[in-house]
Amino acid sequence: MLTKGRTVTDRAAGAARRGVCRRLNEGVAGGAVAQTGGMDVIEVLPGLRMLALPVGAAYLWSDGRESTLVDSGPVGAEDRVAALVESVPGGELARIVLTHWHEDHTGGAARLAARYGGVPVVAHRAEAPVIRGEAAGAPPVLEEFERPIRASVPELPPAPPCRVDVEVEDGDVLPFAGGARVVAVPGHTDGSLALYLPGPDLLFTGDAVANVGRTMLGVFNTDRARAIASLHRLAGLGAANAVFGHGTPLVGDAAAGLRAAAADFR
């Protein structure tokens, strides 16, 4: 169960890999692939679009009045992410939510926030100093099997510092999709967050979980024990639908995949 927390309003805040992308571009159960500005954009669910990038993904939730961007992609992907934002008619971008500080998730955030009139940027309180450039993020502690995976991932430019306007904690509720609950999932990074949207029964896992071939614990963690505990917590939500920082969305029975992944670490 999610702890009931404060509702976070924007005004109150102060105003893997290429093969995975090819599979995503072939479509996903329950979704459709549309060409947007020369890109493949997947409509995962009504109101949710996914842009698969060479490393990672960006997601746009829209209710027709306003939109929320979850993760910004790396430096260099800003125009593609902007095309995603602008692919939804009639809905202005209201906020950018960053699941954690890694450059494939935050690289475009500063430029995109400026491009859309200084929209609020949201991140976990523990992650905010790293995203702002005020502190260094902890490096991952690699398992032996992760070393060749890490070596195969394309080097990305570092993310420029980006302001964080809204600092959230576990149980806080963001004002979109009828209330998006923040779920703290430390382990991949200290301040990693997931989002659970009860209305559409949708979970954004960030990099706490991946779905590359199968649903699994995310790799490149700073604290594997905490990451495993976070995986168990997400599996316990029982979400029908889930989208990931890396990998194919699960539509309709995500809970089964998440439970199976958690069962690897009893």
Predicted pLDDT at 69: 98
* Neighbouring C-beta atoms of residue 167, cutoff 10 Å: 17
Q: How confident is the model at residue 64 (pLDDT cuts 50, 70, 90)?
A: confident
What is the C-alpha separation between 93 and 111, in angstroms, rounded? 14
Q: State the DSSP code for 46.
A: T
What is the C-alpha separation between 86 and 70, in angstroms, rounded? 15
Predicted pLDDT at 44: 97
Q: Taking 80 as the threshold, does the pLDDT of residue 233 lie above it?
A: yes
What is the C-alpha separation between 133 and 160, in angstroms, rounded? 8
CA dihedral 197, 17, 29, 249 (to 10 degrees): -10
**pTM (2 d.p.):** 0.88
Domain coordinates in residue numbering, the chain: 11-135+143-263
Alpha-carbon Rg for the chain, nearest whole angstrom, is 17
Q: Taking 90 as the threshold, does the pLDDT of residue 5 lie above it?
A: no
| Between 38 and 79, the higher pLDDT residue | 79
Q: Would you say 246 and 59 are in contact if contact means Cβ atoms under 8 Å apart?
A: no
How do 202-204 and 241-243 pair as beta strands?
parallel
Residues 74-123: pLDDT tens digits?
999 999 999 999 998 877 999 999 999 999 999 999 999 999 999 999 99
Predicted pLDDT at 10: 46
Which amino acid, residue 254? A
Nearest CA to 93 among 53, 123, 63, 134?
A: 63
7 phi/psi in degrees, rounded to 5: -85, 125
Q: How confident is the model at residue 8 (pLDDT cuts 50, 70, 90)?
A: low
What is the C-alpha separation between 218 and 168, in angstroms, rounded? 22
Nearest CA to 205 among 56, 55, 41, 40?
A: 56
What number does CATH give the domain 11-135+143-263? 3.60.15.10
Residues 138-171: pLDDT tens digits?
999 999 999 999 999 889 999 999 999 999 999 9
Predicted pLDDT at 244: 98
Average pLDDT, the chain: 88
